[in-house]
Amino acid sequence: MVDYFSKWLEVKALEKVTSQVVKNFVWGEIICRHGLPLAIVTDNGPQFASREFVDFCMQLGIDLRFASVHHP
Average pLDDT by stretches of 10, the chain with 72 residues: 86 92 95 94 93 97 90 46
Long-range CB contact pairs, 48-54, < 8 A, 24+: 48/19, 48/22, 50/19, 52/19, 52/20, 52/23, 53/19, 53/22, 53/23
What does the DSSP 8-state code read for residue 50? S
Residues 42 and 48: their CA atoms lie apart, in Å, by: 7
Residues 65 and 70: their CA atoms lie apart, in Å, by: 15
pLDDT of amino acid 70 = 75
pLDDT of amino acid 72 = 41
pLDDT of amino acid 71 = 52
Q: What is the pTM of this model?
A: 0.85
pLDDT of amino acid 54 = 97
Do the Cβ atoms of 9 and 28 come closer than 8 Å? no
